[in-house]
């Protein structure tokens, strides 16, 4: 178990707390035991002191009684009175032996020894305890402790009367080891008798202690150090002070508590061990589910949502585990939803372009390793745009959903994939299928779409065009296969074949076009394109107020590249957006430059069909106008008639926003498409441009002149200016003027010119305009 882990820290906290609790309990209980031991010792000392006092008084009474008996004996008094020493000594001996007195003396009134129980050796000596005699004289009897011959005695004195006091009888018990042991047995204490002289020196008279311990009794400090509870009782004595020392060994007093202390210590150790085990189990019960949660969250963090976490707890940890499981379920649901949005078409529920590309890449890799074929089909619906425009987008959406269901049902293999790439374009992946199998699936799909489709009571008739390619015969790269399937699809659409296989003959310019695309990108990025400007002449005033910006590419090796070569290609690849922005930027910048020179020319810019349906087009022009400080009134945008009809609703919405900015709008190549007057009426256009094919054909075909005249009348009736392009000679210009056309544009007036040459042409134009005016004037 790592020391810095949560489990170790929880266990350590539990152990420390338990140790602190056990230690505190041990200290408190041990202190109580010690206190009780001291109190018990003190109580024993107090009891012993009282017992000793009682024994002392009992001995005193016994001695007094024995001495009184002797003093009251007639024969003894007579012997004392007659100075019969032998009789006195014998009587004293007899009475002393009767009570086992160690000392028996007869003292005269002068304080001299008359006789004692030791014979005539001390006769005539002064009695050592005169205070004792005086106390008896005053109180009638007295008791005292004294030292005689280096030995301690408890003494009493009783007067001998005949009838007056004629002498004193003194009796005493010896204070010896036997008495000390007797007192020790009575009190359960160690009893010692000590004397102290005037210098404070202690001497042991008697003791219950063994000889080895007696030496310590002369130092009371040593007794305290040795763990004894003591009580010193001063005895009434004459001469040297006599005390009795009562001792209680604390070690012996604590002996009954030792088992309790040992039990307490054992309980403390067991409590610590139990706390260690309990804390580890508790820490484990906490950290194991936390570790499981950590592993679970790590697994979720790595994207593995395979299983939920199982923690069998009904506490906060269980709630946390449930929260983790709910979090996992939420993440799974959100990722499923995100994946669905990222890889599924929301309208049809089919895989989208991204998912189809992933599956195609995987299928190509698997087919390459297994050396197996696979087929890819691109499909585009026929007449879908007509349905969308006629019946509306909701019906178009329902039609796409119905088509998706029929295409899915036409696939019989679980590994086959049909995807919606966008709009009405679908793609099909057929792993392990060659071209023959793919053609069978394509035919089945076409038959499925031939079945009548009824949506909200409307019978909808759609067809499809399918292009088929095979791996590895038609390519080994995903992008190559998709592009070639797209080429085959357009072949099927143009030839109305239903489905077509890819043929290299349909794609003979692919390498050259790919190279041209790369060079076109470089030309735009390195500003290699240029803008030429073709003037538009007012046929009524011969003035020039408008020019059309036309992009030109002078390739360093290819030479002049016609716009008809790279503009359609740029539209197909989507690169036309970049070219349009470049052209608009340069044209508006040139307009600003002319205005700075005092030249007022409005500039027309061509916009492709792809650009027209983008909602960002008005924002782009607004930004460029602000960038160069050019008024919107100076800018015209030309849109082809077919571009508008590809998606009229989006086109009209974009045209309305451009018109709101103040930009003028013109319909280019009018008459070549299939425009509807209902749409034309809704569009905020300012000008119609008659396609040059009709203008140039006026001289040879009456029908063309009729179309030109009708277009001019139509435009004027709608309040629009009319421009004729492709004016190649004077006769055309005069005829257009006679028909009421407003503006003319063509090689007869001027070819497209770079800005510098255009200024020269503008300078020379007034003279040419006068000649033209005179030639057209009536004679």
Omega prior to 258 cis, within 30 of 0:
no
Query: What pLDDT, on a 0 to 100 scale, did the predictor assign at position 539?
Result: 93
Token look-up 């050396």 returns 371
Q: How far apart are CA 611 and CA 58, in angstroms?
A: 138
pLDDT of residue 779: 42
Among 358, 359, 400, CA closest to 381:
400
Considering the segment(s) 22-250 as one domain, its CATH architecture is 2-Layer Sandwich (3.30)
Please, which residues have CB within 8 angstroms of residue 614's CB and are 6 or more apart in sequence?
577, 654
| 741 pLDDT tier (thresholds 50, 70, 90) | very high
Neighbours of 198 (CB within 10 A): 8
State the helix-helix crossing angle for 85-99 and 74-81, rounded to 10 degrees: 140
Percent of the chain with pLDDT over 70: 86
Nearest to 644 by CA among 636, 654, 635: 654
For residues 166-192, give the mean pLDDT. Answer: 86
The answer to whether the beta carbons of residues 753 and 761 sit under 8 Å apart is yes
Beta carbons within 10 angstroms of residue 496's beta carbon: 9
DSSP code of residue 127: P
Estimate to the nearest angstrom the gap between the alpha carbon of 145 and the chain centroid. Answer: 93
Do 242 and 145 contact (CB within 8 A), yes or no? yes
- Quick one: average pLDDT of 395-410? 92
Report the distance separating Cα 529 and Cα 563, nearest Å: 11
Residue pair 377/431 in contact (Cβ under 8 Å)? The answer is no
DSSP 8-state class, residue 633: G
Going 655 to 658 to 660 to 666, the CA torsion angle's sign is negative
732 SS3 class? helix
Cα torsion through 703, 706, 707, 710, rounded to 10: -160
Separation CA 377–CA 421 (nearest Å): 12
What would you report as the CA-atom Rg of the chain, rounded to the nearest whole angstrom? 68
Q: Is there a contact between 775 and 738 (Cβ–Cβ < 8 Å)?
A: no
Given a cut of 70, is residue 309 above it in pLDDT?
no
**3-state SS class at 378:** strand
Cβ–Cβ under 8 Å, residues 229 and 216:
no
Name the fold adopted by 349-508: Alpha-Beta Plaits (3.30.70)
Tell me the mean pLDDT in the region 226-248. 79
Tell me what pLDDT residue 382 has.
84
Q: Are 694 and 735 in contact (CB under 8 A)?
A: no
Which residues fall within 8 angstroms of residue 136, CB to CB, at 6 or more apart?
Answer: 142, 157, 158, 159, 168
Higher pLDDT, 442 or 154: 442
The residue-averaged pLDDT of 306-310 equals 68
Extract the tokens encoding 400. Answer: 């796409």
Structural element, H or E, at residue 250: helix 250-301
* H or E stretch covering 298: helix 250-301
Lowest-confidence range among 53-62, 167-176, 278-287?
278-287
pTM of the model as a whole: 0.43
Q: What is the model's pLDDT at position 276?
A: 76
Q: Provide CB contacts within 8 A for 600, sequence distance 6+.
A: 545, 594
* Helix locations, 607-754, DSSP H: 609-612, 617-628, 641-646, 648-661, 677-682, 692-696, 702-717, 730-738
Helical ranges in 629-701 per DSSP H = 641-646, 648-661, 677-682, 692-696
Q: What pLDDT, on a 0 to 100 scale, did the predictor assign at position 418? A: 95
Q: What is the pLDDT of residue 133?
A: 79
Q: Is the model more confident about 666 or about 494? A: 666
Alpha carbons 761 and 207: distance in angstroms, whole number:
153
- What pLDDT digit, counting tens, does each position of 531-545 carry? 999 999 999 999 999
> How much is the pLDDT for 702?
86
β-bridge mates for residue 554, sequence order:
560
**What does the pLDDT average to over 109-138?**
76
Written out in words, the top-level CATH class of the domain with range 523-766 is alpha beta
Across the range 415-424, mean pLDDT stands at 91
pLDDT grade for 645, boundaries at 50, 70 and 90: low
| H or E element that contains 388 | helix 384-391
* Model pLDDT for residues 151-162, shown as the tens digit of each residue: 888 888 888 887
Give me 296's structure tokens: 């679970």
If you average pLDDT over residues 692-709, what whole number do you get?
Answer: 87
For residues 427 and 350, what is the distance between their CA atoms, to the nearest angstrom? 10
Residues 6+ apart with CB under 8 A from 34: 254
DSSP label of 506: G
- Rounded to the nearest 10 degrees, the angle between the axes of helix 478-495 and helix 353-370 is 110
Highest averaged pLDDT of the listed ranges 15-24, 202-211, 258-267, 462-471: 462-471
Q: How far, in Å, are 277, 297, 415 from residue 356 at the CA level?
A: 60, 32, 12
Q: Where are the alpha helices (DSSP H) in 302-352?
A: 316-343
- Residues 742-775: tens digit of each pLDDT: 999 999 999 999 999 999 999 999 888 776 666 6
The C-alpha atoms of residue 330 and residue 303 are separated, in whole angstroms, by: 13
pLDDT at site 550: 94
Report CA torsion sign: 613, 614, 618, 620: negative
Go through 330-360 and write b for each residue having 16 or more CB atoms within 10 A of its CB, e for each that does not: eeeeeeeeeeeeebbbeebebbbbebbbebb
> How far is the C-alpha of 596 from the C-alpha of 387, rounded, in Å?
51
Mind listing the pLDDT tens digit for each residue in 729-738? 999 999 999 9
Backbone angles phi, psi at 708, to 5 degrees: -65, -50
Q: Distance (Å, rounded) from C-alpha 700 to C-alpha 351? A: 56
pLDDT of residue 671: 62
- How many Cα atoms within 13 Å fall on the side-chain side of residue 516? 21
């Amino acid at each position: 178990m790592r020391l810095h882990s949560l489990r170790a820290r929880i266990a350590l906290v539990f152990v420390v707390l338990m140790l602190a609790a056990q230690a505190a309990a041990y200290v408190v209980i041990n202190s109580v035991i010690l206190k009780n031991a001291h109190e018990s010792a003190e109580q024993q000392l107090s009891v012993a002191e009282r017992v000793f006092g009682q024994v002392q008084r009992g001995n005193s009474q016994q001695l007094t009684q024995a001495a009184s008996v002797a003093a009251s004996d007639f024969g003894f008094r007579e012997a004392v009175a007659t100075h019969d020493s032998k009789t006195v000594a014998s009587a004293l001996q007899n009475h002393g032996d009767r009570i086992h007195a160690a000392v028996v003396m007869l003292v005269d009134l002068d304080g001299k020894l008359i006789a004692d129980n030791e014979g005539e050796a001390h006769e005539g000596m002064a009695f050592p305890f005169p205070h004792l005699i005086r106390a008896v004289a005053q109180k009638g009897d007295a008791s005292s402790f004294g030292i005689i011959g280096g030995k301690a005695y408890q003494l009493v004195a009783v007067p001998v009367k005949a009838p007056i006091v004629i002498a004193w009888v003194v009796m005493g018990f010896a204070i010896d080891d036997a008495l000390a042991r007797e007192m020790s047995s009575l009190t359960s204490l160690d009893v010692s008798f000590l004397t102290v002289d005037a210098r404070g020196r202690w001497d042991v008279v008697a003791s219950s202690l063994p000889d080895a311990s007696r030496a310590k009794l002369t130092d009371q400090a040593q007794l305290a150090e040795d763990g004894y509870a003591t009580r010193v009782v001063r005895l009434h004595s004459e001469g040297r002070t006599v005390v009795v020392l009562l001792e209680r060994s604390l070690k012996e007093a604590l002996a009954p508590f030792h088992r309790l202390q040992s039990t307490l210590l054992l309980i403390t150790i067991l409590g610590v061990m139990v706390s260690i085990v309990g804390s580890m189990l508790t820490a484990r019960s906490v950290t194991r589910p936390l570790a499981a949660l950590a592993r679970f969250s790590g697994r979720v963090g790595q994207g593995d949502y395979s299983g939920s976490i199982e923690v069998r707890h009904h506490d906060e940890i269980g709630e946390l585990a449930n929260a983790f499981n709910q979090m996992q379920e939420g993440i799974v649901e959100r990722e499923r939803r995100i994946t669905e949005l990222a890889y599924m078409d929301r309208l049809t529920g089919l895989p989208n372009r991204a998912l189809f590309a992933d599956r195609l890449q995987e299928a190509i890799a698997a087919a390459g390793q297994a050396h197996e074929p696979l087929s890819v089909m691109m499909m585009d619906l026929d007449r879908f745009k007509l349905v969308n425009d006629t019946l509306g987008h909701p019906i178009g959406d329902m039609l796409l959903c119905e088509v998706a269901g029929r295409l899915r049902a036409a696939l019989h293999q679980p590994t086959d994939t049909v995807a919606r790439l966008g709009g009405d374009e679908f793609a099909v992946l057929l792993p392990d299928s060659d071209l023959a199998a793919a053609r069978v699936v394509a035919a089945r799909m076409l038959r499925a779409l031939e079945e009548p489709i009824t949506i909200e009571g409307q019978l909808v008739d759609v067809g499809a065009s399918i292009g088929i390619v095979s791996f590895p015969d038609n390519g080994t790269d995903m992008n190559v296969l998709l592009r070639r399937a797209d080429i085959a699809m357009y072949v099927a659409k143009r030839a109305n074949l239903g489905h077509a296989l890819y043929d290299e003959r349909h794609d003979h310019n692919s390498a050259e076009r790919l190279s041209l695309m790369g060079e076109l990108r470089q030309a735009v990025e390195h500003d290699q394109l240029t803008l030429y400007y073709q003037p538009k002449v007012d046929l009524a005033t011969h003035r020039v107020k408008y020019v059309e910006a036309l992009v030109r590419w002078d390739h360093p090796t290819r030479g002049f590249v016609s716009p008809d070569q790279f503009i359609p290609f740029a539209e197909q690849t989507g690169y036309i957006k970049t070219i349009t922005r470049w052209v608009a930027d340069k044209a508006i910048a040139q307009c600003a430059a002319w205005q700075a020179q005092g030249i007022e020319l409005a500039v027309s810019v061509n916009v492709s069909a792809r650009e027209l349906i983008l909602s960002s087009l008005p924002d782009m022009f607004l930004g460029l106008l602000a960038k160069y400080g050019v008024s919107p009134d100076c800018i015209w945008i030309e849109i082809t008639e077919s571009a508008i009809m590809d998606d009229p609703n989006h086109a009209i919405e974009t045209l309305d926003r451009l018109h709101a900015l103040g930009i003028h709008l013109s319909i280019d190549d009018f008459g070549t498409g299939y425009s509807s007057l209902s749409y034309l009426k809704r569009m905020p256009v300012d000008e119609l441009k008659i396609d040059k094919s009709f203008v140039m054909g006026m001289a040879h075909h009456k029908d063309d002149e009729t179309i030109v005249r009708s277009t001019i009348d139509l435009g004027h009736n709608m309040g629009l200016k009319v421009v004729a392009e492709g004016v190649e000679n004077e006769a055309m210009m005069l005829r257009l003027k006679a028909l009421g056309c407003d503006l003319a544009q063509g090689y007869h007036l001027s070819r497209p010119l770079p800005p510098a040459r255009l200024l020269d042409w503008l300078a020379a134009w007034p003279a040419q305009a006068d000649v033209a005016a005179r030639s057209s004037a009536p004679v």
